């Protein structure tokens, strides 16, 4: 009886050995015909051809010093594809597949790289379970067959030796077949009163999408919850492999892939090799799969670990980034923002109604949602605190406007040691570190602190070209503007239509993290910058500049001495008071 693991191993090695030789065209066509019964659609044939050409290209492009490793990885992925097909096929389809694999092995035995030899008789494939004999395969009767270490289902290497008339595969003890579906990584539980955000789903999360979907948004917009909902739906709909990856560090991606490779019996000699083998397996398997990369920060370092979407596989990622690195050719960027005003109010009222406290949603519920910037996570934590402390929206809004208490105290229930107030600061620090790594180095923090002391509703982007801001950052206008754009790319602020806006909670967290000894210089810088803008911009910009001056005075009242009028009017409005501060 033919051992299926041995047959798949020999056939996969025959395929990859032929890449780049005179035998490739014939073997390529035979593999396409062999797999046609498994998927006889035109798209299926085209995808198989693309997979074969990708294999040939990777083997041919490999560094000569790593050619053997490249060939081994390619053989490993095709070996598992053949095994998957054998496991799924029945009846005549199975017999046809077995016959095709035996022909493939025989064809490789009949040819060499340079011209070929002919051996009469059938190829004999036999397994010797438990043997782990060392081997090295060199030239045999004018033919050559590379050293092969395709990984077996135990995670150990099957050994392949070649005689004149037979291949012999020495395979470690066999494990039972996998049980599908397979889930790797913990998919987050649904949040209370979760809202599905149909507008986002209609724009991005399409089953069978040919491009990776990237959910991009600031902290607390609900990206992870949307991705988790999609992952649970994928499992419920029969997706055979769902992998949830904490992608904040590349090491976490490698670790998750290595675990997944072990779970689906695709392994290597170490963790990284197993992770790469799993990534290769994703490109050729007919199993349906979904990989979720949650919290991507360093997109440049993660690029080699980004799976290619296939006809049976999909990739979904979440990130705070929204720069050009996110929008590669095979990715669709989807912005995930805050709730609408209606969604915010409905969410808060649903939370209260679920625990029999609907009366907490009083006449100022909409005002509270507005103050929190309609941010889903902020609303969730605020609702939790109000329920725990039996506070109505009016009473809680009064607390939020209290400058004595910190954001952490206002948004975090006493029992919640990992509450939102602390997570805002942690998220802010992470995003700033990520921005600083991409440069201009060292500008992200000071630039955010400047923006945080202005009006969250927006300030003119010309502020970043003023001499005052340039002097404060130690940068020319181009680099100062680049620092602002860097904050935009990491969802720390919003730059559009000539206006720069900051979420009020991000602004408050940044203000609370500003060292006290920096405040005088910061106030002087912004006062001078707003004065420069007033001289440079048309009179129609006056109300916007007044609002920003008023916000600065409100945030730093202790740095606002008696005003020096800047206009020849009897009673200058309070918003202009700051312009004479440091003259």
Per-residue pLDDT of 117-136, as tens digits, reads 232 333 344 433 333 222 22
Per-residue pLDDT averaged across 481-507, rounded? 84
**Which whole number is the average pLDDT over 517-526?**
93
Q: Render the burial of 164-176: b for 16+ CB within 10 Å, e for the rest.
A: eeebbbbbbeeee
- Judge whether 32 and 48 are in contact, CB under 8 Å: yes
User: Which residue did the predictor score with more confidence, 277 or 195?
Assistant: 277
What band does 244 get if pLDDT is binned at 50, 70 and 90? very high
∠ CA(98), CA(100), CA(102), 5° rounding? 70
Q: What are the C-alpha distances in Å from 262 to residues 83, 148, 414, 515?
A: 16, 19, 42, 49
Which of 457, 445, 449, 472 is closest to 529 using CA atoms? 472
Contact yes or no for 357/389 (Cβ under 8 A): no
Q: What's the confidence (pLDDT) of residue 253? A: 94
pLDDT in tens, 191-212: 766 777 766 655 555 544 566 8
In this structure, the dihedral spanned by the alpha carbons of residues 573, 576, 578 and 582, taken in order and rounded to 10 degrees, is -120
Q: What is the mean pLDDT of residues 270-281?
A: 91
Record the tokens describing residue 379, joined without a space. Answer: 């609303």
pLDDT at res. 492: 78
Q: Within the chain, what is the greatest distance between any pair of CA atoms?
A: 110
pLDDT recorded at residue 69: 76
Q: Hey, what are 435's tokens?
A: 């921005």
Show the tokens assigned to 288: 């349906």
Partner residues linked to 459 by β-bridges: 500
Q: CB-based burial of residue 406 (10 Å sphere; 0-12 exposed, 13-18 middle, 19+ buried)?
A: middle
DSSP, collapsed to helix, strand or coil, labels residue 415 as coil
pLDDT tops 60 at residue 414: no
Note the pLDDT tens digit of each residue in 287-315. Answer: 999 999 998 888 888 889 999 878 889 99
Mean pLDDT (whole number) for 529-554 = 90
Q: Binning pLDDT at 50, 70 and 90, where does residue 284 land? A: confident
Q: How much is the average pLDDT of 533-562?
A: 84
In this prediction, residue 439 carries a pLDDT of 57
CA angle 34, 37, 43 (to 5 degrees): 95
Between 110 and 260, residue with greater pLDDT: 260
CB atoms closer than 10 angstroms to residue 79: 28
Regarding predicted confidence, which is higher, 443 or 207? 443
pLDDT value of residue 267:
80
Share of the chain above pLDDT 90, in %: 21
Q: Per-residue confidence at 579, pLDDT binned at 50, 70, 90?
A: very low
**Looking at residue 145, what is its pLDDT?**
32
Per-residue model confidence (pLDDT) at position 61? 81
Beta strand 166-170 with 182-184 is unpaired
For 546-578, letters b (16+ CB in 10 Å) and e give bbbbbbbbebbeebbeebeebeeeeebeebbbb
Quote the pLDDT of residue 62.
Answer: 79
User: How many Cα atoms occupy the beta-carbon half-sphere of 496 within 13 Å?
Assistant: 7
Q: Are 143 and 112 in contact (CB under 8 A)?
A: yes
Q: Is it the case that residue 233 has pLDDT exceeding 70?
A: yes
Q: In whole angstroms, give the CA distance from residue 12 to residue 19.
A: 11
Would you say residue 139 has pLDDT above 80?
no
Whether the CB-CB separation of 490 and 321 falls below 8 Å is answered with: yes
Query: Is residue 440 pLDDT above 50, yes or no?
Result: yes
Q: What is the pLDDT of residues 344-367, one digit of tens each?
A: 999 999 999 989 999 999 999 999
Task: Name, of 70-74, 208-212, 472-476, the range with top average pLDDT.
Answer: 472-476
Distance set, CA 468 to CA 93, 487, 521, 560 (Å): 75, 19, 10, 18
Mean pLDDT confidence for 370-374? 83
pLDDT tier, 438 (very low <50, low <70, confident <90, very high otherwise): low
What is the chain's mean pLDDT, rounded?
75
Per-residue confidence (pLDDT) for residue 129, from 0 to 100: 37
332, 333, 338, 340: CA torsion to nearest 10: -50
| Residue 467 near residue 526 (C-beta atoms within 8 A) | no
Per-residue model confidence (pLDDT) at position 482: 87
Range in 329-333, 393-397, 465-469 with the lowest mean pLDDT: 329-333
Beta carbons of 60 and 19 less than 8 angstroms apart: yes
Give the residue-averaged pLDDT of 324-337: 78
Model confidence at 324: pLDDT above 50: yes
Rounded to whole angstroms, how far apart are CA atoms 53 and 62?
Answer: 14
pLDDT at 3 (0 to 100): 62
At 116 the pLDDT is 34
pLDDT of residue 523: 93
pTM above 0.85, yes or no: no
* CA–CA gap between residue 211 and residue 417 (Å, rounded): 39
For residue 329, what pLDDT is reported?
Answer: 63
Residue range 20-38: mean pLDDT, rounded: 79
What does the pLDDT read at residue 136?
A: 28
Residue 489, CA distances (Å) to 303, 424, 454, 475, 476 in order: 18, 18, 20, 19, 20
CB 560 within 8 A of CB 577: yes
407/264: higher pLDDT = 264
Q: How confident is the model at residue 60 (pLDDT cuts 50, 70, 90)?
A: confident
Length of the chain: 583
CA distance 282 to 275: 11
pLDDT band at 164 (very low <50, low <70, confident <90, very high): very low
**Cα separation of 337 and 377, whole Å?**
12
* Residue 169 clears pLDDT 70, i.e. is over it: no
Helix 91-110 to helix 24-36 angle (10° resolution) is 170
More confident residue, 562 or 324: 324
Average pLDDT over residues 499-517: 84
Tokens encoding 430: 């992470």
């Amino acid at each position: 009886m033919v051992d299926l693991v041995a047959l798949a191993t020999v056939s996969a090695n025959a395929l990859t050995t032929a890449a780049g030789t005179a035998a490739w065209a014939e073997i390529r066509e035979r593999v396409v015909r062999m797999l046609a019964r498994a998927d006889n659609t035109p798209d299926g044939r085209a995808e198989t051809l693309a997979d074969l050409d990708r294999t040939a290209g990777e083997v041919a492009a490999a560094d000569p010093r790593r050619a053997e490793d490249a060939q081994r990885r390619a053989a490993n992925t095709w070996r598992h594809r053949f095994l998957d097909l054998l496991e799924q096929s029945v009846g005549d389809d199975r017999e046809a597949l077995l016959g095709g694999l035996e022909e493939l092995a025989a064809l490789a035995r009949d040819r060499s790289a340079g011209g070929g030899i002919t051996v009469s008789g059938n190829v004999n494939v036999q397994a010797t379970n438990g043997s782990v004999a060392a081997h090295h395969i060199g030239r045999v009767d004018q033919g050559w067959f590379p050293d092969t270490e395709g990984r077996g289902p135990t995670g150990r290497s099957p050994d392949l030796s070649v005689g004149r008339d037979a291949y012999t595969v020495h395979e470690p003890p066999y494990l039972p077949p996998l049980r599908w579906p397979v889930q790797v990584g913990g998919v987050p539980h649904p949040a209370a009163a979760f809202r599905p955000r149909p507008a986002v789903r209609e724009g991005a999360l399409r089953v069978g999408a040919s491009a990776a979907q990237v959910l991009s948004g600031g902290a607390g917009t609900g990206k992870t919850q949307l991705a988790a909902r999609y992952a649970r739906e994928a499992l419920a709909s029969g997706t055979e492999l769902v992998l949830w990856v904490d992608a904040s560090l590349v090491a976490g991606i490698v670790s998750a892939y290595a675990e997944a490779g072990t779970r689906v019996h695709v392994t290597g000699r170490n963790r990284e090799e197993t992770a790469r083998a799993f990534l290769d397996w994703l490109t050729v398997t007919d199993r349906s799969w979904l990989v979720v990369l949650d919290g991507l920060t360093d997109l440049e370092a993660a690029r080699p670990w980004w799976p290619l979407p296939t006809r049976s596989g999909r990739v979904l990622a979440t990130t705070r980034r929204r720069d050009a690195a996110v929008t590669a050719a095979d990715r669709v960027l989807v912005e995930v923002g805050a709730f609408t005003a209606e969604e915010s109010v409905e969410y808060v009222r649903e939370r209260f109604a679920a625990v029999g406290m609907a009366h907490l949603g009083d006449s100022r519920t909409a005002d509270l949602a507005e103050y929190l910037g309609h941010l889903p996570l902020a609303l969730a934590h605020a609702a939790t605190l109000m329920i725990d402390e039996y506070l109505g929206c009016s009473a809680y809004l009064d607390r939020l406007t209290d400058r004595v208490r910190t954001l952490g105290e206002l948004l975090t229930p006493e029992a919640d040691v990992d509450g939102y107030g602390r997570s805002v600061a942690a998220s802010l620090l992470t995003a700033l570190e990520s921005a600083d790594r991409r440069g201009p180095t060292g500008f992200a923090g000071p630039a955010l602190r400047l923006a945080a002391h202005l009006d969250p509703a927006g300030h003119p982007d010309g502020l970043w070209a003023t001499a005052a801001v340039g002097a404060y950052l130690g940068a020319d206008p181009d680099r100062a503007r680049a620092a602002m754009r860097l904050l935009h790319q990491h969802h720390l602020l919003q730059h559009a239509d000539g206006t720069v806006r900051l979420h009020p909670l991000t602004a408050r967290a940044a203000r609370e993290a500003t060292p006290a000894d920096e405040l005088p210089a910061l106030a002087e810088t912004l006062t001078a910058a707003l004065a420069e803008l007033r001289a440079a911009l048309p009179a129609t910009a006056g109300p916007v500049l007044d609002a920003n001056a008023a916000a600065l005075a409100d945030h730093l009242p202790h740095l606002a001495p008696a005003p020096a009028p800047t206009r020849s009017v009897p009673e200058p409005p309070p918003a202009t008071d700051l312009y004479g501060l440091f003259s």
